[in-house]
Structure 1
């Protein structure tokens, strides 16, 4: 494999790109560009005021990173900004005489820069800035492979920025949810003497919890589908590059049979990678779609119970992966229930989120197990367990009381387990019991 392709694949596969670690991802991309192109200086610039001003976000000079507040104005460098508006690469073999970059002559001379390679950075289809590569001490003639490599690395910037903005939006949503929960807690204290008002507040929170579950599904879609789509995009870029090399070689008759076969094999591998990741994204979308459909379906209907549980757990991956914990499901695939799927989705969501938030702070190997069977009386025996810190005797007495929480200062409202108990008893006409033993265990019994 070409060394530049190897570097590009390493960057694309790095978890920093999709985890919202913007600063670390930016540093990784600049370091990889510097290494692949063997240049002294690489920098990342983003538009500040429309397309009239750019600000340097990060500069790598040798081994040192700098975050100086450098700014370029279109009024000072009109030819350069005019070239940027074409949204194409600026390939300046001799930057001091190239009409697109000659305006920077003083800057180029001060830093002994002879050649520049600037690539557009795009986010959601719009150009938002550039990656600038600067070669010092001598003139540099950039070849097509280097330009394609730098362009593909610039695409990784847009991908990292997308993950960062998603994480910021998720953080803002969590903050809003925290503020909402705090307001509900304050309000509930005021309504403690009036049973009717407390009952209404409880019903309102139950409805909000259902909406929060659907919101979690949407967040899961964006987060989980982003990774396979990113890998597929990178693989497709490589496929296009190899195809261009093959076409050029055939047109110029400069390619041997062995070289042609090597290119075809690389194209085949890239095609398989694209297909596999798109199929993975398709499977995830199907799971999320089915879970969302169940969430909005309130009447009882035949449900493949194991698939219902598996689909819900897929939508909760952003929460379980942070622990990390990967729930084990012990349910017969042939078990079909006539039940309200939306009720079970809310029950499972409350249980899993409760474990993730409260159970595993001191657990080396977190685990959750979910099982369901039918007894001889055709009753469903649903059992949920985790191996977390468990419940004290005092907590076991109060766990199902409205507004009881062990973490009042960490966003807990104390309604999750209370809502769960009401769903089991009023919606499923069932019985709920805590299990003895280490960790947290709970059994739900109801007619199937």
Structure 2
């Protein structure tokens, strides 16, 4: 049976040039691609797809090729699924958009990021994640090109040497990355030499907190005015921040994107109003949808449970996720604050803070650390910079932190 507007198509194949073409083709027909990690186990696939009821599940390149067609105006957003790090994965559904809203959705991204026909977007992250797919789609819709694929058009595993060669050969103008990409690229360039990065007009990063030394190196390495950070989620985008703004206000993730407003409730939870074309529901889950939205004086606002602070000029700082909250001895401790402090130690390359059950305190604060700093050194550092409840009671040294492919720490694995 031919696909109908509103149908879902699950994409369980590796990223490729064709993958982006098919996503755009489906959306032009009002069909919603559901990009998923092709490495999901059978149990994970059943858990996710059972609720989404796809009309078609694509598991090989032959099926993918059969869906190719003209691009046209996307009549919605791909139905990405929340990561599942804080509960059961949920499909984020934009619904079918009328032509005016569909055009506004495309125009918003183009206006913010400046996509144009001369752009060459370097794809680094797996295309089943929302940010790399969004940047690739925006580039193609503006008449530009995407690169970062092998000779067969497939997306290879991230490889600093291969990425460096692509930069030298293809001279990309834009890329989206996560801090882990930058760490690996800079380590490679320290050993083998830094390529000419003058071709870049836009380097955007998100997905995880960026340590201050890494952020400053990013700013120094790429052309002035080219580097940005943004804060968003599977559900929607909140802020965008030029690095020059960050230098004036270290740690901020910027102000609300155009057409949006930010508000904090009494608990510090972040709520964001968005235009009609950027609204969403959790597919087949009206209760979770209702919990994510509330009415405000500026219109409907959504939250994903993140906590933050706003200054008088509207710049936002993140304090962590509500789900990551550690309550120790009745005191709320936000991991992001402790992580930021420990990351400033010269012997810390990476760090994640989380809570574990404690018979006395309810939970105790634990830090998983990658680097050369000893537990005693870190304890002295923390004592100088953190109030007693926030100081880790235990330090665990690891070779690397467990992360999702978008760079988010899998805290449940640590705990």
> What TM-score, normalized by structure 1, do the two folds share?
0.25
Structure with greater Cα Rg = 1
More helix by share: 1
